[in-house]
Structure 1
Amino acid sequence: MSEENVKKMIGKVFGDIANAIETGDFSDKVSIGITLMGSEHGIENILKGAELASENSSFEVILIGPEVDTNLKVVKAETEEEQHKEMERLLDEEIIQGAVTMHYNFPIGVSTVGRVITPGMGKEMYIATTTGTSSPHRVEAMVKNGLNGIITAKSMGVESPTIGILNVDGARQVERALKELNSNGYDINFAESMRSDGGAVMRGNDLLTGTPDVMIADSLTGNLLMKIFSSFNTGGSYEALGYGYGPGIGEGYKRNILILSRASGVPVVSNAIKYAAQLAKGNVLDVSQKEYKNAKKAKFEDVLKSLTKEKKKSDDSEQIIQPEKEVVTGSISGIDIMELEDAVQELWKNSIYAESGMGCTGPIVMVSESKLSKAIEILKKAGYATEGSDPC
């Protein structure tokens, strides 16, 4: 280590002491590790991000990887596999309270909550989730993603985060499940779309303006959104904005590990480290345990089981006869696209002629104006619509 770096380190130590005296915060300092190898932009890119994050910070940054010329502490590792093993060891031994890395595999049931800066209003928004898989079942995964997003936002100091559901396949089923969980006693603060028709199912406009604190999506869509938000102004090869793909959250998961892309640039590397430190100070692991416990009290597992059980199909011998056609000018929104035709069949079984269609807000079921109220009640009873479903 050069004489200049030694002086910088000594200066930083005295600066930390002075800061503690000034603020009165003498609590143990949080340490965050970051792995050096794996970036498409080279080790220097990660190193610069780490050094930037450590400037005037209230936490320590520890590098994991090959020896480099820096005033930061380095835990040696020669390969990507070895640096991940060292990272896990440091976390498990509580030498570090969080870590940032690339190309790390989480177990099924754990997924990451990204943090972006939306271009419309410059507002921060959490995207739940962006990597990993909460469940092999798409809708169940998105419901769990919602809980993971709430956990992350609360750990960051957002006491009652607003929740929105991106309008993708399964969104309406997710909405029904979360509303059921809410009615069972687990408090969920649903956001309202900025568009005039409102509702908790979010449009593309809501993505750009950051309408909800937490935007629920499937991980693949969330991953795509992270890449777009972070590199839309650089051509895609260099992620320059945001805080990275976030912490892996899941029931019983006990490591505060955040993910970067191999394309993440210096600003995102720096922000991801700060994100990890904030989560560590917010006791993200304790918050996760508490929120999952509270959700279970509200019959979370029963709600999830209702999503994954197979719906009873009509017996092949049971023929559903199409009612006589009539003019269908009344429309019902809030039906998930994956259940649209089943909803139409349900109304036929109840002697109401219906057709499927696509409205400005998504899938709709169209019926006669005179039978609209009755059709809504039938679909609610059959589980295809929520209490909040209204005519378009």
Structure 2
Amino acid sequence: MAENNAVKQMIGKVFLDIADAIKTGKFGNRVKVGLTTLGSEHGVENLVKGAELAAKNAENFDIVLIGPKVNTNLEIVEVNTEEEMHKKMEELLDSGYIQSCVTMHYNFPIGVSTVGKVITPGMGREMFLATTTGTASAHRVEAMVKNALYGIITAKAMGIENPTVGILNLDGARQVERALKELNANGYKINFSESIRSDGGAVMRGNDLLAGSVDVMVTDTLTGNIMMKVFSSYTTGGSYEALGYGYGPGIGEGYDRIILILSRASGVPVVANAIQYAAKLAQGKLTEVAKAEFAKAKAAKFDEILKSLTKDAKKAPAETETVTAPAQEVVTGSISGIDIMDLEDAVKTLWKAGIYAESGMGCTGPIVLVHEEKVHKATEILSQAGFVAKEGDIC
């Protein structure tokens, strides 16, 4: 009798799957998304409710809970500790039983960081924050350049063929911009966005964060993590994350699991959205997209560009060398695109070349001021020394 009931249930599920495929018009792309249910500050029930909410709006995906037994119609793979839970999650992913999974407090290897997805309060636009947890590299600028690629990969897997990219105006942003423009010039095409501010540019300000001026906002992980928390819980006081899609999938070269991260403070709506995010990434074949994008980036000398960032490529005067400023003159010409950490070295490099220069701060960041007739010569010198892009960045 029990065997007959099991067979009937299996047949019933097959017919339900066929009916669902006919209804949605999608055949052969159904996936299973896992959700681990231990570790939330709001309890197991919070996560289960999020999963049940996602199931109501499920489009061609099923949900598998990984955690203790609870009262739900969703499938459960029963475990009782966080350690056992993550081990089982990895086992289910590696076996192919589930294609992606949403979890909390999971440690990625160095080189892997997560791309979050938020809803910006200014215009209600969806935006990818690259990145929000994990560590792409111990070197800040190298990590941000990698984060840009990770964000592009995620956006493409989500169906955005040519995502717009902007770089948040942080320390190192100009170096990141130069590196990405070099990658673009080498053949890996990047669709740089323009700031909504009147002076434009690919370096984004806080206004752009609120408005969602780009599809992919490149940042360092710690800043991205803070912004993720602000965007998701600014309406609740911080203890309950109510908006957005969570901290997103771990991306890295050679990483072949689709694991998305939630905060322990993530509430029911974010849990539901994160599950839908995970399903679409699996259906969009994230790991295959990543492999293809890494191959294209490497063909455009991605590795060489990264190496140039982690060595002292600038030819600034030695710290022990005394450089005297040339005779002072009126400085009305400006050169931007210089990282704030390099500003004084850039000025001294021009002094050594016989050009009087001063440091300053423009509306988009640090600038070097020189006589307007010497802007092009000064830019050429700074370019050769590695302070600005090869084509210069003159304003």
TM-score tier by shorter-chain length is over 0.9
Query: Offset of 1:359 from its aligned partner?
Result: 1.7
Q: Find the counterpart in structure 2 of residue 193 from structure 1.
A: 195
Counterpart CA distance in 2 for 1:99 and 1:24 is 25
The one-letter code of the counterpart of 1:244 is G
Asked if residue 260 in structure 1 is aligned to residue 262 in structure 2, the reply is: yes
Counterpart CA distance in 2 for 1:214 and 1:28 is 26
CA RMSD of aligned residues (A): 1.9
Instruction: Say if 1:321 and 1:32 are closer, same or farther in 2 by CA, change over 3 A.
Output: same
Q: Find the counterpart in structure 2 of residue 140 from structure 1.
A: 142
Counterpart CA distance in 1 for 2:231 and 2:391 is 31
Deviations 1:345-392 (A, max 9, x none): 111111111111212211111112232222122222222112564444
Q: Find the counterpart in structure 1 of residue 49 from structure 2.
A: 48
Q: Find the counterpart in structure 1 of residue 4 from structure 2.
A: none
Which of these residues, 355, 360, 370, is aligned with residue 357 of structure 1? 360
The one-letter code of the counterpart of 2:205 is R
Q: Find the counterpart in structure 2 of residue 6 from structure 1.
A: none
Counterpart CA distance in 2 for 1:313 and 1:202 is 28
Counterpart CA distance in 2 for 1:316 and 1:42 is 55
SS in 2 for 1:139: helix
Instruction: Say if 1:155 and 1:28 are closer, same or farther in 2 by CA, change over 3 A.
Output: closer
Which of these residues, 116, 119, 133, is aligned with residue 117 of structure 1? 119
Q: Find the counterpart in structure 1 of residue 3 from structure 2.
A: none
Which of these residues, 54, 79, 82, is aligned with residue 81 of structure 2? 79
Asked if residue 368 in structure 1 is aligned to residue 371 in structure 2, the reply is: yes
The one-letter code of the counterpart of 1:55 is K
Moved more, 379-388 or 322-331: 379-388
Counterpart CA distance in 1 for 2:32 and 2:381 is 56
Instruction: Say if 1:10 and 1:339 are closer, same or farther in 2 by CA, change over 3 A.
Output: farther
Asked if residue 276 in structure 1 is aligned to residue 288 in structure 2, the reply is: no
Q: Find the counterpart in structure 1 of residue 297 from structure 2.
A: 295
Query: Offset of 1:307 from its aligned partner?
Result: 0.3
Moved more, 324-333 or 19-28: 19-28
Q: Find the counterpart in structure 1 of residue 105 from structure 2.
A: 103
Counterpart CA distance in 2 for 1:76 and 1:154 is 34
Counterpart CA distance in 2 for 1:386 and 1:251 is 27
Instruction: Say if 1:252 and 1:174 are closer, same or farther in 2 by CA, change over 3 A.
Output: same
Counterpart CA distance in 1 for 2:57 and 2:175 is 46
Query: Offset of 1:55 from its aligned partner?
Result: 1.3
Counterpart CA distance in 1 for 2:138 and 2:169 is 20
The one-letter code of the counterpart of 2:219 is A
Which of these residues, 371, 376, 386, is aligned with residue 389 of structure 2? 386
Q: How does 1:205-354 map to 2 (within 5 A)?
A: 205-311=207-313, 312=315, 314-315=317-318, 318-354=321-357
Counterpart CA distance in 2 for 1:212 and 1:236 is 25
Q: Find the counterpart in structure 2 of residue 89 from structure 1.
A: 91
Moved more, 219-228 or 73-82: 73-82
Moved more, 18-27 or 187-196: 18-27
Moved more, 266-275 or 355-364: 355-364
Question: TM-score scaled to structure 2, two decimals?
Answer: 0.93
Aligned residue-pair number: 385
Q: Find the counterpart in structure 2 of residue 36 from structure 1.
A: 37
Q: Find the counterpart in structure 1 of residue 22 from structure 2.
A: 21
Query: Offset of 1:13 from its aligned partner?
Result: 7.2
Query: Offset of 1:122 from its aligned partner?
Result: 0.8
Counterpart CA distance in 2 for 1:315 and 1:208 is 42
Instruction: Say if 1:30 and 1:182 are closer, same or farther in 2 by CA, change over 3 A.
Output: same
SS in 2 for 1:378: helix
Counterpart CA distance in 2 for 1:11 and 1:240 is 36
Query: Offset of 1:315 from its aligned partner?
Result: 4.7
Counterpart CA distance in 2 for 1:90 and 1:255 is 11
Query: Offset of 1:341 from its aligned partner?
Result: 1.1
- Asked whether the 8 Å contact 2:317–2:349 carries over to 1, the reply is no
Q: Find the counterpart in structure 2 of residue 160 from structure 1.
A: 162
Q: Find the counterpart in structure 1 of residue 65 from structure 2.
A: 63
Query: Offset of 1:26 from its aligned partner?
Result: 2.9
Q: Find the counterpart in structure 2 of residue 4 from structure 1.
A: none
Indicate the percent of aligned positions where both proteins have the same amino acid: 69
